[in-house]
Amino acid sequence: MYWLRKSGQMTLNIIMVTLLWFFALQLTSTDRGLASIGPINEKINIAQAELNRLKIEEAYLRQKNALLSSDAIDPDILGELARKKNGLYGDDEVVIFVN
């Protein structure tokens, strides 16, 4: 009876060591383990930089859009957009209006 209890305990120890080894292997060597923290942090930093760039671009576009609102149309912005949309001048031209 003693050998049965001892062999059962040994079997339990072997199972526990095997499970511990399996989870340690999964933790260190898989694409979701500790080795993937560096590339994931790099992707997070790239995405954060892109988010910051898009926020700046959004603020610029909102400001430009506010200049075109119906209650306060800026004539310079309106003229610039009309000329650019109709192709009356290129991107590298400078237009000077003389009154």
In tens, the pLDDT along 24-39 reads 888 887 777 777 788 8
Predicted TM-score of the model (pTM): 0.48
What's the number of CA atoms in the CB half-sphere (13 Å) around residue 18?
6
Are 27 and 33 within 8 A, CB to CB? yes
40 & 25 share domain: no
Q: Are residues 14 and 62 in the same domain?
A: no
Same domain, 41 and 67: yes
Residue 88, pLDDT above cutoff 70: yes
Same domain, 43 and 91: yes
> Do residues 98 and 53 both lie within one domain?
yes
**With 70 as the cut, is the pLDDT of residue 87 above it?**
no
Co-location of 26 and 40 in the same domain: no
Q: Are residues 48 and 88 in the same domain?
A: yes
Give yes or no: residues 50 and 79 share one domain.
Answer: yes
Q: What percent of the chain has pLDDT over 70?
A: 85
Neighbours of 23 (CB within 10 A): 10
63 & 98 share domain: yes
Full residue range of the structural domain in which residue 93 is found: 36-99
